[in-house]
Amino acid sequence: MKPVIVHVVQHLKPGGIESFALEFQRAAQPFFDVHIISLENHHVKDYWHNIDCGKKFIHILDKKPGWQANIFMQLKTLFEQIKPIYVHTHHIGPLIYGGIAARLANINHIIHTEHDAWHLAEFRPRLLQQLIITLVRPIYVADANFVAKQVKRLMPSLNPIVITNGVDTDKFKPSVLNKNKLQQQAGLPSQFKFIGCAARLESVKSHEVLIKALAKLPNNIALLLAGTGSLQAQLEQLVLQLHLENRVFFLGHISDMTSFYPLLDVFCLSSNNEGLPLSPMEAQACGVPVVLTDVGGCKEAVCRKTGIMVKANNPTLLAQALIRSLNQKSNHSPRQFIQNHRSINNMIKQYLSLIQLELRCKLC
């Protein structure tokens, strides 16, 4: 039997943390049985058909808004049945429920990864998290140097270990077909160069800045938007106001992102806040250069030889950066940066080394 690892997440709607857990599960599958426990049920079956390993290792609880004491016992029972070598929690809710339940189930090893520190800026969430960390005593990890610095500033007693996110370079890779052929198969017009963005259509991602930047670019440049969210109607209205309806394509949720990135000439994320985003790393693994706003840990996700950073919330500067990226001539592929510094296999090895180190320390 393979060793077992458990990830506890709030939900499995599309997002960075959810992609982290699902990709971890898939990449580690040859060596570990990786179970994912989602506290909430948000019709997650809608997103399961693209998972190519271990649906039987996904467990969906039905936590409702607010505190729910029975979740602790549900998790404890699951942990006792699964018998993981460690429990890995993501964000504050899973830390509270998963961390306490793991201790109740006498699980010795708990890892908590901080993917951002926005919630710690407020006193009450920060105090609650500090209390839970003191109680649960997890190995505390930040997924970017930026996040670690934020945590250290807000909670000086903590000293996070930094393990940067990684992507699967065997899964995300350049297509053997050329862009024109791929775009034809996708039913896209052939006259455009394509900028692409994969992100939830929510305010933090600042899609309106990217759309306004597109309005400043030549007419042979178009935009592909992958993702869904509450701002879709508002963004569609902006597209109409700017007369860009023939140059902006809302593609909705894409279950297999390996079919999206190779369509692009450049990938762009115009967010006003980020942790360490996965989508630009996936794009670069496919050989696509990126333009990102200089927020959060974005710098840590970008190949310095091919990527461009730009000030947030400035459509003019973003348009200039996109033109530079589209026109740049380079023999260097951003894929090399991902293979060398942001691979998922290296990330998994680093997480496992934390447990091995703790085991060795306890034996000393």
pLDDT digits (tens, 9 = 90+) for 161-183: 999 999 999 999 999 888 888 88
Q: What is the mean pLDDT of residues 97-120?
A: 94
172 lies in a domain? no
Do 100 and 133 lie in a common domain?
yes
Please state whether beta strands 308-310 and 266-269 pair in parallel, antiparallel, or not at all (unpaired). Answer: unpaired
CA-nearest of 4, 273, 223, 303 to 116 is 273
Same domain, 336 and 348: no
Comparing 49-53, 176-180, 261-265, 292-296, the range with the smallest average pLDDT is 49-53
174 in a structural domain: no
Bridge partner list, 142 = 114, 162
Q: Do 75 and 124 sit in the same domain of this protein?
A: yes
> Each residue of 208-249: pLDDT tens digit?
999 999 999 999 999 999 999 999 999 999 999 999 999 999
pLDDT given for residue 14 in this prediction: 77
The DSSP code for 4 is E
Q: Are residues 323 and 349 in the same domain?
A: no
Same domain, 332 and 206: yes
Check whether 258 has a pLDDT greater than 80: yes
pLDDT at 177: 82
Q: Say what percent of the chain tops pLDDT 70.
A: 94
Residue 71: name the closest of 37, 109, 36 by CA. Answer: 37
Provide the pLDDT for residue 336. 96
Does residue 247 sit in the same domain as residue 292? yes
CA dist 294 → 146, 164, 199, 275, 318 (Å): 12, 17, 16, 11, 11
Residue 173 lies in a domain: no
Rounded to the nearest integer, the mean pLDDT of the chain is: 91
Report how far Cα 56 is from the mean position of its chain's Cα atoms. Answer: 23
Whole-number pLDDT of residue 183 = 86
Q: Are both 156 and 197 inside the same structural domain? A: no
Task: Kindly state whether residue 30 falls inside one of the protein's structural domains.
Answer: yes
Kindly state whether residues 151 and 22 are assigned to the same domain: yes
Mean pLDDT in residue range 291-304: 96
Which residue blocks in the chain are alpha helix, DSSP H? 16-28, 70-82, 92-104, 123-136, 145-154, 179-185, 207-214, 232-241, 279-285, 315-327, 334-341, 344-363
Contacts of 151 (CB under 8 A, 6+ apart): 114, 117, 120, 140, 142, 158, 160
3-class secondary structure, 293? strand
Asked if residue 193 and residue 335 are part of one domain, the reply reads yes
Mean pLDDT for 332-354 is 94
Instruction: Mark whether 291 and 303 lie in a shared domain.
Output: yes
| pLDDT band per the 50, 70, 90 thresholds, residue 269 | very high
* Amino acid identity, position 275: G
Residues 139 and 13 in one domain: yes
Residue 128 lies in a domain: yes
CATH of the domain at 280: 3.40.50.2000
Residue 357 lies in a domain: yes
CA of residue 124 relative to chain centroid, distance: 26
Which amino acid appears at position 55 of this protein? K
Per-residue confidence (pLDDT) for residue 264, from 0 to 100? 96
Domains identified in the chain, total number = 2
| 287 shares its domain with 347 | no
Range of weakest confidence among 42-51, 64-73, 133-142, 259-268: 42-51
pLDDT surpassing 90 at residue 43? no
Is pLDDT at 30 greater than 60 in this prediction? yes
C-alpha span between 20 and 267 (Å, rounded)? 20
pLDDT of 331 reads 83
Domain presence at residue 171 = no
**What is the domain range of residue 36?**
4-166+343-363
Instruction: Kindly state the average pLDDT of the residues 269-298.
Output: 95
Query: Hey, what are 23's tokens?
Result: 């990709």
